[in-house]
Structure 1
Amino acid sequence: MTRRYAIYYAPPTGSALAEVGADLLGRDPETGEARPQPRLDGIDPDRFHAITEDPRHYGFHATLKAPFALAEGVTGEALHAAAEAFAAGRAPAAGPALALASIGGFLALVPSAAAPEVHALADACVETFDRFRAPLTAAELERRRRSPLTPAQDRHLERWGYPYVFDEFRFHMTLTARLTDKAEHERVHAALVERTAPVCVDPLRIDAIAVYEQDDRQSPFRITGRYKLTGAPA
């Protein structure tokens, strides 16, 4: 059994964004409790439950440092302490309002325009927390490479344990699996545009980072620590 950790953005507890995400995915990553998913016009409830299975497993979030096992000799307590120290020295990151978009067939909430402060926060998380990460095994590398990667993405995978960092990073909060059927994609997109519209108005503000954990790969991720970004602006 290998416990894994991740550094994610999780919307503030009880915020409209957190509630919408937990409702749509059918699970609250804070409490671990299942939630009844809303019925969406034109979408079979069982099918919607199926296409949200993968993001439900990870919990509603945006990746800052992708899931990793701890390096030898490193403890979870040390990671949490480092996350707290990092947050104390880092200012909140501002960005534009979110918008629903398709990323390779996945539907996700993404910034509606460039978000350099958010990008810089993610870059800093990738670098700062890499010392806690165990190297990927040969099997993990092989699994990642089953999806086509560019040479740059493969170099990131080798160095940082994840291909979509730095120049390949895109902030996103995933809501579905990849939808390959065009008609279904359009139906789900239309339903989610309506459902997420209320949280796609105000500018994005990331004022905390969260540590997520899972007991093993079959277990869902849970939030086990939130750390406020309280540093002074640069």
Structure 2
Amino acid sequence: MFTRYAIYYTPAPGTPLAEFGAKWLGWDSAAGAAQPHPSMDGLDVAQITATPRKYGFHGTIKPPFRLAEGMTAQGLADAVATLCADAAPVTLEGLELARLGRFVALVPSGDASALGALAGRAVQELDAFRAPPNDAELAKRRASRLSAAQETHLMRWGYPYVLDQFRFHLTLSGKLEADVCERVQRALAAPVSALDLAPYRINGLTLLGEDDAGKFHQIHRYALTG
């Protein structure tokens, strides 16, 4: 049994974006295996990606949570399957390399409201499976100086960056100094531009579980067929 569960968007295994993300971060959540980092002149890729590595390459849809009392992993899997059978795929104008504060990530270009609506459905419709955050989890989130809206979401949904505060992104780094962010963006510009990311279709959601070592593993990737 896993310690926590999450619903993410992960690129389909074997696709160029999935392989790029797994190698860059050093962890393939679909295969449940470490991957060798690419060699980037002057960049310590292992250190740059240390924080996001355990999650695998992903965009958060419903953030990690512990199962509520009385809920089962099979029940959660069934509920995710039902949601995905009813939800339609989302086509984005594209994905582009960007800096989000002190992080580097791939973010949607153009209107992403349909993806936000999909994430909102997952947060709300699957909420019964989520155990309330404990004191340590609350303190960790509040260390980021939450706004009033984010604090409200934290208490209601267990995470501050949901619904109107949601911003989809595929994380490529931990927190970096400004000059390192710029160097990472420059280094990734060529490999990212070689990927076919415009338009970009979100065609499935993935249920993942966190093992005792803190690594996330794909349990199942569900096609969006609504």
SS of match in other structure, 2:159: coil
Is 1:125 aligned to 2:122, yes or no?
yes
SS of match in other structure, 1:122: helix
Question: What RMSD over aligned residues (CA atoms) do the two structures have, in Å?
Answer: 1.4
What's the offset of the Cα at 1:200? Answer: 5.5
Cα shift readout 1:5-59 (whole Å, capped 9, x = no counterpart): 000001011111101101111111111111111112332xxx2101101111111
Q: Equivalent residue for 1:8?
A: 8
What's the offset of the Cα at 1:138? Answer: 1.8
Asked if structure 2 preserves the Cα contact closer than 8 Å seen for 1:98 and 1:200, the reply is no
What's the offset of the Cα at 1:2? Answer: 6.9
Cα shift readout 1:144-176 (whole Å, capped 9, x = no counterpart): 111111111111000000000111110000010
Q: Equivalent residue for 2:36?
A: 36
Of 157, 176, 179 in structure 1, the residue corresponding to residue 154 of structure 2 is 157
Q: Matched residues in 1 for 2:41 and 2:192: separation?
A: 14
TM-score (norm 2): 0.96
What's the offset of the Cα at 1:135? Answer: 0.6
Correspondence 1:211-226 to 2 at 5 A: 211-216=207-212, 218-226=213-221
Given residue 181 of structure 2, which amino acid in structure 1 is its aligned partner? H
What's the offset of the Cα at 1:199? Answer: 2.4
Is 1:66 aligned to 2:63, yes or no?
yes
What's the offset of the Cα at 1:223? Answer: 0.6
Is 1:173 aligned to 2:170, yes or no?
yes
Segments of 4+ in structure 1 off by > 6 A?
Answer: none
Asked if structure 2 preserves the Cα contact closer than 8 Å seen for 1:42 and 1:187, the reply is no
Count of residues paired in the alignment: 226
TM-score (norm 1): 0.93
Is 1:185 aligned to 2:181, yes or no?
yes
Asked if structure 2 preserves the Cα contact closer than 8 Å seen for 1:99 and 1:200, the reply is no
Q: Equivalent residue for 1:228?
A: 223
Given residue 108 of structure 2, which amino acid in structure 1 is its aligned partner? P
Q: Matched residues in 1 for 2:82 and 2:197: separation?
A: 32
SS of match in other structure, 1:118: helix
Q: Equivalent residue for 1:89?
A: 86
Cα shift readout 1:85-144 (whole Å, capped 9, x = no counterpart): 111111111111100111111000000222121111111111111110001112211121
Q: Matched residues in 1 for 2:122 and 2:172: separation?
A: 23
Is 1:48 aligned to 2:14, yes or no?
no
**Identity of paired residues, percent?**
47
Q: Matched residues in 1 for 2:160 and 2:194: separation?
A: 32
Asked if structure 1 preserves the Cα contact closer than 8 Å seen for 2:24 and 2:45, the reply is no
Q: Matched residues in 2 for 1:17 and 1:57: separation?
A: 18
SS of match in other structure, 2:23: helix
Greater CA drift, 60-69 or 88-97:
88-97
Asked if structure 2 preserves the Cα contact closer than 8 Å seen for 1:98 and 1:199, the reply is no
